[in-house]
Structure 1
């Protein structure tokens, strides 16, 4: 049936890193278990997924893995979670962690999240609603420097280049670390990652390097502009403070219908404010 809704993608969350730049906050706590606005970062991410109908999760863990597993199992009873352990988390990076999730993902469509990104659930709704098979969420309102993963796209928002080494002057915006990957592209992606990781020199590579190789070989990625919606990546104490300022209240699991009612009420209030 043409109108039949297909199964929600699997959520793949990369949470293996140490978060050393957030020390001393992360000296005794994994970064993903820090609290932002009254909710643990990882809880906020999982609840956003549940709000969008995503109920199957793959978590790639490394640093303090047992603490994260214990938190998820206690907080979310009954959801389907597969844990993948990156035993080499100290010497590897996100490319290696994502490669390890290959068997657990299988042939499923998935949405990949960096575990240190805090975001408005509306971003995920827009991503899932996109008709494009492979989608990178990008923000155009970011001052682009060397640290950011930058995206160059054409007038149709097709990605032409992606990576940290992309020229900031030519880039459309920053990739926020949340992407939708189709089943077919997933298979190609894991081949690229596996081949990359055969070389020790690539162990510290980011997964975006594999995206860039796929783009060069003709795989189409669409850039979804989420500018204006709230999100932040948490790498430093400054980022952590910004996240708490941006997200000031605990997360709740909220259906699409409830979201619509809230949005309509906010629009109505805005109209009356300007009258």
Structure 2
């Protein structure tokens, strides 16, 4: 299995912290967000990584060999040259297409601005199918990337079974939503070609699309496991409030 980490974005809402570095190189307790996520993936025996870079790419490209040597892992960097006029759909496609053409392995896909309880990655890695981590505890708001999952039922292992994504996006009605997609997912090798085909269509429609939307169409032709957080904590880091929350969360996770 491969770990794919997206770190190409500019992080404008975190200025001036991101004036000279991408969000993923921000440090909490002397560890970058990138290294912290890589460590989470190493815990589930992932030793190959693809990091998609863009904004201040050289800073990440210089750091990756040091992390690779420290943990005895392989890290490949791929550049999204159009990071400033595209979104995560393009960055994801660059990694997923490379894997389709060269590796043919399952991969875990994570946003580089996330801090998560390592158990979240472990739960996802255990999924036999393509899977998405869904927060079923956190109170939803207008910024939450919400899903409406139709025909859902709950398995004994706390995954949603037989679900199809009826709709996905930030604008969805909160009471109708099944939860929030946290930006952590897994694509099994047998689904990669279809996943890439859907990404291509999304990019053609709008290069600013989020990869998250690809799971809607994929859920209607492939089996997707919706793995619930059930209270396991995480945060994305979009703005300064998120940054403060992330520091608190890291302290909490390190003292579990």
Q: TM-score range by the shorter chain?
A: 0.7 to 0.9
CA distance in 1, matches of 2:236, 2:131: 18
Q: Tell me if the contact between 2:89 and 2:208 (Cα under 8 Å) persists in the aligned partners.
A: yes
> Cα deviation per residue 1:1-28 (whole Å; 9 max; x = unaligned)?
xxxxxxxx21111110000010111112
Query: 159-168 vs 48-57, which deviates more?
Result: 159-168
Tell me the CA shift for residue 159 of structure 1: 4.1
Q: Tell me if the contact between 1:118 and 1:232 (Cα under 8 Å) persists in the aligned partners.
A: yes
Aligned to 1:160: 165
Tell me the CA shift for residue 249 of structure 1: 7.4
Higher strand residue share: 2
Aligned to 2:122: 125
Q: Does 1:142 align with 2:138?
A: yes
Question: Unpaired runs of 5+ in structure 2?
Answer: 155-159
Aligned to 2:4: 12
Query: 153-162 vs 36-45, which deviates more?
Result: 153-162
Q: Does 1:205 align with 2:209?
A: yes
The correspondence of residues 69-80 of structure 1 with structure 2, limited to 5 A, is 69-77=61-69, 78-80=72-74
Aligned length in residues: 241
Tell me the CA shift for residue 238 of structure 1: 0.4
Aligned to 1:195: 201
- Choose from 3, 21, 24 the match for 2:16: 24
CA distance in 1, matches of 2:15, 2:76: 28
Aligned to 1:83: 77
Q: Which runs of 4+ in 1 moved over 2 A?
A: 158-167, 217-220
Aligned to 2:59: 67
User: What TM-score comes out, normalization by structure 2 length?
Assistant: 0.88
CA distance in 1, matches of 2:52, 2:78: 5
Aligned to 2:157: none
The correspondence of residues 229-240 of structure 1 with structure 2, limited to 5 A, is 229-240=232-243
Tell me the CA shift for residue 76 of structure 1: 2.4
Aligned to 2:97: 103
In structure 2, the residue corresponding to 1:111 is in which secondary structure?
strand
Aligned to 2:175: 169
Aligned-residue RMSD, C-alpha: 1.9
Question: Unpaired runs of 5+ in structure 1?
Answer: 1-8, 252-261, 267-275
Q: Does 1:33 align with 2:30?
A: no
Q: Tell me if the contact between 1:11 and 1:111 (Cα under 8 Å) persists in the aligned partners.
A: yes
- Return the index of the structure with the highest Cα Rg: 1
In structure 2, the residue corresponding to 1:198 is in which secondary structure?
helix
CA distance in 2, matches of 1:151, 1:250: 27
Q: Tell me if the contact between 2:165 and 2:215 (Cα under 8 Å) persists in the aligned partners.
A: no
Tell me the CA shift for residue 70 of structure 1: 1.0
Tell me the CA shift for residue 166 of structure 1: 3.1
User: What TM-score comes out, normalization by structure 1 length?
Assistant: 0.82
